Structure 1
Amino acid sequence: MRSKPLWVGTSWKMNKAPREARQAAEALAEIALPSHISSFVIPPFTSIADVSRILDKSPFQVGAQNTHWEDEGAWTGEISAPMIKESGATIVEVGHSERRTHFNETDATVNLKVAAAMRHDLTPLICIGDTAEDHHFGVTHETLARQARIALHGLTSEQVKKVLFAYEPVWAIGAKGRAAAPDFVQDAHARLRHHLADIYGAETARAINILYGGSVSLQNAAHYVRQKDIDGIFIGRAAWAPKDFAAIIDACAASSNR
């Protein structure tokens, strides 16, 4: 058995309008989670309140896909951490590679958003990842260390323990992505944890949960969670249907019990 819960989460990205999101949430509310599994779902902004209400008595946590770093102001089209909090979410995803690539997200703005999440008692889910070029030239570990270090700048050791990381290789995500080998991911997580230990100490580094995301499926999920330094998985399209999400949760739960 693991010494801490195993995380299994999914983001719906720009899918599921409010009606479909409510239906999916109602199906998730019927799922019984094993005691050693922590799980979350991240709907679009338009459905956070509904999904949070439906899942309020369930063990599933609800997240948001992004936040602004300011609490309020003239930021047309943006959503703030207080808005997310009042809508019922407890997690906020920041730094996803799609945000970095298409919406000019930087390591510095990720840091600002992490600080905003912390101010409002939201758990930051910090996405980090190497590009195909980083991977080709063998600088994966340097890239992850830089992204993580900047994201956590200014946080105390106690705050850092509350953070979730999701290692998502840019070359592994999306419909055309290829899943990274479990031993490669284990090595990346172990090296990142070692880097975090150099900054915050071994105890804090062990407490930080580092998830893997990138072409995760029912067929390969269990292979990842068997690895020592993989604390969970963050799934995309393979978990958008509640029955598929439930099957992946069951597979992970069975594997992590071994």
Structure 2
Amino acid sequence: MARKKIIAGNWKMNKTPSEAVALVNELKPLVASDEVDVVFCVPAISIIPCMEAAKGSNINIGAENMYFEENGAYTGEIAPNMLTDVGVKYVIIGHSERREYFAETDETVNKKVKKAFEHNITPIVCCGESLTQREQGVTIDFIRQQIKIAFLDVSAQQAATAVIAYEPIWAIGTGKVATTEQAQEVCAAIRVCISEIYDQATADAIRIQYGGSVSASSAPELFAQADIDGGLVGGASLKPDFGKIVNYK
């Protein structure tokens, strides 16, 4: 069975709630597609108004992060049931910016992944190497380590429904894009890693995105690759161009 493409926008720390609603309304007609799953991962404060704005459209509103506890004294954090209560079905976990600026580790990513599955939220699990790691030839080894720890104690049934986003750190917001061959090579290696952890059926089911300066011009070639099942899009998801990425064919 062919995997349905999933194209997600990561809005990061951009747009006030009123600006976010305006952007959802602007993008709604531009991202209309039955062929791909469309997700806007927005700042927590904008989730509820964006949910309202997206009603009746094909847009899923997702979260950019969540904590791995149910409740408690974790000032500033958001629990999974807070997300499910308003209808969130997707959450980005382990983005390189979270790892770099907020001290997230492979272990905390794993805790969040397991907690997301407990609450029937689909995790978009991020992985990616730095420029130094790329230049030293350890990209695949490093990515395999990130994936293996992220999916520790996750069942095959759960893993099959997950989304993995491969984002080379050196290509995020830099305008540099991995070549199509580089992106496909790593996404294929991720699928092999999943087949080793679980089985081929799970590897065939899981959706793997490429992210890192994806544009309307680079999307068609990237998304045509055998192991690239869509994109996690940063800056371009805040512009009308996102419609061209969603309707890349």
Alignment TM class, shorter chain as reference: over 0.9
Pick 1 or 2: higher relative contact order, CA cutoff 8 A, min separation 6.
Answer: 2
Question: Which amino acid is the alignment partner of residue 140 of structure 1?
Answer: T
Matched, 1:249 2:246: yes
2:192 maps to 194
Question: Which amino acid is the alignment partner of residue 112 of structure 1?
Answer: K
Alignment of 1:231-250 (within 5 A): 231-241=229-239, 243-250=240-247
Question: Which amino acid is the alignment partner of residue 38 of structure 1?
Answer: D
Alignment of 1:214-233 (within 5 A): 214-233=212-231
Conserved? CA contact 2:70–2:79, under 8 Å: yes
Conserved? CA contact 1:53–1:88, under 8 Å: no
**1:126-154 per-position Cα deviation (integer Å, ceiling 9, x unaligned):** 01001111101111111111111111111
Question: How many Å apart are 1:36 and its aligned residue?
Answer: 1.8
Conserved? CA contact 2:3–2:207, under 8 Å: no
C-alpha RMSD of matched pairs (Å):
1.3
1:41 partner SS: strand
Deviation >6 Å, runs of 4+: none
Query: How far apart in 2 are the matches of 1:6 and 1:137?
Result: 32
Question: Which amino acid is the alignment partner of residue 21 of structure 1?
Answer: A
Q: Percent sequence identity over matched residues?
A: 37
2:169 partner SS: coil
Query: How far apart in 2 are the matches of 1:23 and 1:98?
Result: 26
Query: How far apart in 2 are the matches of 1:154 and 1:28?
Result: 38
1:219 partner SS: coil
1:40 partner SS: strand
Question: How many Å apart are 1:177 and its aligned residue?
Answer: 4.5
Conserved? CA contact 1:29–1:54, under 8 Å: no
Structure 1 unaligned blocks of 5 or more:
none
Query: How far apart in 1 are the matches of 2:116 and 2:52?
Result: 21
2:204 maps to 206
**1:7-38 per-position Cα deviation (integer Å, ceiling 9, x unaligned):** 11111110010110111122233346332211
